[in-house]
Amino acid sequence: MNVLITSVSRKVSLVKAFSRALSEEGGGMVIAIDASPKSAALYFADKAYIVPAGLGENFRDIVQNICVKNEIKLLIPTRDEELPFFARERERLNDIGVCVMVSSSHAVKICQDKGLFVEFCLKHGFSVPKTYKETDIVFDFPLFVKDRFGKGSKSAFRVNSKPELDYFLNRLKDPIVQEYVEAPEYTVDLFVDFAGNILSVVPRQRLSIFGGESFIGRTCKNWDIINESMRLAKALNLIGHNTIQCFLHNGQVKFIEVNPRYGGAASLGFAAGAFTPRMLVRLVLCREVKPCVGDFKDNLHMLRYTDDIFVDEDKMKQIAHFIE
């Protein structure tokens, strides 16, 4: 069984995780693709391709050809911009024997639109940080302002005064204004099979964040977070591995967003006992995967660090021209 991981960029740990999962389930290759030969994770895959940037017709045809040529059985999208594309193309790829780990177009749309996500949560009885409307005049500072379609921490800011608020309201394309929540922040790695059954849920507290990703974290077996995350996943009809972010504020779980894909720090959940890459491989191979919700090592800490690899330019050129 061979696996294709898209937009691998720096996701070395994810490539390694699927290599391990395949080796534990009988073998297979991890094929990685990216638009740049300077993406470190390409050099940890069994085979790598450079593909065009963007998501045009050319990209679709190239991905399909790579899948056919390499007998791909499982495709893992990892970039937010790709998720709507692969949600639309899921059936087409399934017709050639490729299982795509992506939720429905409807679920992806809600998760990627922070305004729609707030509306969905309120409609279905989930708590979110208080969200202000444009007509609200009285604000309780500090506040949190983020772009409706922003990613990570690039378009999210704490504001402490009306002049700061006015500045960011003019700067951001489609701003959302919320209360600033002073509470522990958690990421939940939640895995759902293709029939909608939740198999694992691992909350991890974000102790140190850089560039929107958790660099120091610890697993936390909090059943309020686990149960509310399961309820949210079922309401959204999520599948595959999902990254849910929330606060635990005065005993209440307040959801921030859902990224319906693998997150950068998912390896903490893997190490704690919820090795979802292997679960996913087993599902595609039609092997039994038993639910293990809550069955993970509590208070396991993750301390992430950067590492270096050194690649000759000739090797980069070989990968860059591999598909020509």
Lowest pLDDT segment from 55-64, 128-137, 260-269:
128-137
pLDDT higher than 80, residue 324: no
pLDDT higher than 70, residue 321: no
What percent of the chain is modeled with pLDDT above 70? 97
Phi, psi torsion values for 308, nearest 5 degrees? -120, 145
Please, are residues 102 and 240 in contact by the beta-carbon 8 Å criterion? yes
Average pLDDT estimate for 15-22: 98
In sign, the C-alpha dihedral spanning 99, 104, 108, 109 is positive
pLDDT band at 259 (very low <50, low <70, confident <90, very high): very high
Between CA 54 and CA 52 the distance in angstroms is: 6
* Residue 227, amino acid: N
Element of type H or E holding 242: strand 240-249
Between CA 73 and CA 5 the distance in angstroms is: 11
Helix axes 82-94, 57-69, angle to 10 degrees: 50
Query: What's the pLDDT at 152?
Result: 72
pLDDT band at 318 (very low <50, low <70, confident <90, very high): confident
Q: Hunting for tokens 């092997």 — which residue is that? A: 287
Query: What's the pLDDT at 322?
Result: 55
Chain segment 173-197, per-residue pLDDT in tens: 999 999 999 999 999 999 999 999 9
Average pLDDT estimate for 55-71: 92
pLDDT band at 255 (very low <50, low <70, confident <90, very high): very high
pLDDT band at 137 (very low <50, low <70, confident <90, very high): low
What is the side-by-side strand order in the sheet with 252-259?
A: 252-259, 240-249, 185-192, 198-210, 213-219, 301-303
Tell me the pLDDT of the chain averaged across its residues.
94
Beta strands at 2-5 and 30-34: parallel, antiparallel or unpaired: parallel
Extended strands (E) in the chain: 2-5, 30-34, 47-50, 72-76, 99-100, 131-132, 143-147, 156-159, 175-179, 185-192, 198-210, 213-219, 240-249, 252-259, 301-303
pLDDT band at 323 (very low <50, low <70, confident <90, very high): low
Instruction: Answer with the residue of higher pLDDT: 226 or 323.
Output: 226
Question: Encoding tokens for residue 49?
Answer: 């391709």
Chain segment 272-301, per-residue pLDDT in tens: 999 999 999 999 999 999 999 999 999 999
Chain segment 26-42, per-residue pLDDT in tens: 999 999 999 999 999 99
Please, are residues 158 and 142 in contact by the beta-carbon 8 Å criterion? yes
pLDDT higher than 70, residue 18: yes
Please, are residues 275 and 256 in contact by the beta-carbon 8 Å criterion? no
Element of type H or E holding 63: helix 57-69
Please, are residues 1 and 29 in contact by the beta-carbon 8 Å criterion? no
* Residue 228, amino acid: E
Number of H helices and E strands in the chain, helices first, is 10, 15
Average pLDDT estimate for 78-105: 97
pLDDT band at 233 (very low <50, low <70, confident <90, very high): very high
Between CA 155 and CA 24 the distance in angstroms is: 40
Query: What's the pLDDT at 320?
Result: 64
Which of 177, 187, 115, 104 is closest to 148 using CA atoms? 115
Between the two ends of the chain, the Cα-to-Cα distance in Å is: 25
Question: Encoding tokens for residue 57?
Answer: 């017709």
Which of 199, 202, 182, 183 is closest to 191 using CA atoms? 199
Q: At CA 108, angle to CA 102 and CA 114, rounded to 5?
A: 145
Query: What's the pLDDT at 240?
Result: 98
